[in-house]
Structure 1
């Protein structure tokens, strides 16, 4: 691989993912814009190119094995390898999500994208990441997945959401297992909470901008070689599990 670093960001056609791609691109990185919607993906690629980013589009449905395998092949062909994977794609599962009445299909959808999708993409990209000099994996999670905060009186953890919040707890638990498995490698893997960002995921009710939400994922994507691994961060510091 050349001296230029390459990142792949899933769900990068809009919102936080787009701003992560833009931020890494501004650092001189080559960035793969992973997204399943072709029109929105190509629009994002065009905007990023106009901003001077070295970017390539990656058709990617994180719930589909064949799509993920093709995305790995495309990334290898376009960039010759991969240094950073940002697992940003996610869904809420829709509502309502009261556990006593929830449609189990909502849980399945949330877990398939937010957990299985991350495992599927991570495993497909690991061979390239293992070849990198400074590989990083960043999982975009949420503080609503913190069991500590969920059980702390007065903590702000959003509405009752038996699909979305536990899917992020599951994602965090899975990440810890990856960190253990990869502890004897140079791959650093961490989780990032972007905060309550105004995106279509929450009907734009959030109080933070996508640019603000992208800050912690970008920081974790660019950690030094002696940086942490297996940890959970937001803009204020470490988030309790």
Structure 2
């Protein structure tokens, strides 16, 4: 969804992209060794490689082979989709150095998706994404944040 907006973002003096992610989307939690290696490929990571991982996951999901192929089995689509979004965040940050692109896990928040069990209020959880949207010009890009802190690994 970000790609069509790139031309508009490039018109801004301070363009920002903040992807809302999850700790469950950390690459190592994908558990499929090939996917982990592919999504960890630093400078060699491309959108095509991310699509290849997603297509392989979808094929294995449809065939009922997640466990056999080493994919996560608990909320698998959520984990893999967040890992793919995190990878795409890094790709965009490398491709567009003038755009500050980061992803963030706001924390376990009391929302409908958590059946209102999270300890954070939506207002508290919004602080991190707002912080990223307001980063200074020389702020970090291509990073994964948990709440208001950069994590060293995706």
TM over 0.5, shorter chain = yes
Aligned residues: 112
Aligned twin of 1:176 = 90
Deviations along 1:63-89, one digit per CA (max 9) or x if unpaired, are: xxxxxxxxxxxxxxxxxxxxxxxxxxx
Q: Larger RCO: Structure 1 or Structure 2 (Cα < 8 Å, ≥ 6 residues apart)? A: 2
Whose helix fraction is larger, Structure 1's or Structure 2's? Answer: 2
Is the Cα–Cα contact under 8 Å of residues 128 and 148 in structure 2 kept in the other structure?
no
> What pairs up with 1:118-197 in 2 under 5 angstroms?
120=1, 122-148=2-28, 160-183=74-97, 186-197=98-109
Deviations along 1:119-176, one digit per CA (max 9) or x if unpaired, are: x2x122211110111111100011111134677xxxxxxx921111111011101111
Aligned twin of 2:132 = 220
Distance 2:26 2:117 in 1: 21
Structure 2: gaps of 5 or more residues: 32-72
Aligned twin of 1:83 = none
SS at match of 2:131: helix
Aligned twin of 2:123 = 211
Q: Greater shift after overlay, 138-147 or 231-240?
A: 231-240
SS at match of 2:74: coil
Measure how far apart 1:193 and its partner are.
0.6
Measure how far apart 1:202 and its partner are.
1.7
With normalisation by structure 2, the TM-score equals: 0.67
> What pairs up with 1:67-106 in 2 under 5 angstroms?
none
Is the Cα–Cα contact under 8 Å of residues 100 and 142 in structure 2 kept in the other structure?
yes
Distance 2:115 2:130 in 1: 24
Structure 1: gaps of 5 or more residues: 1-119, 152-158
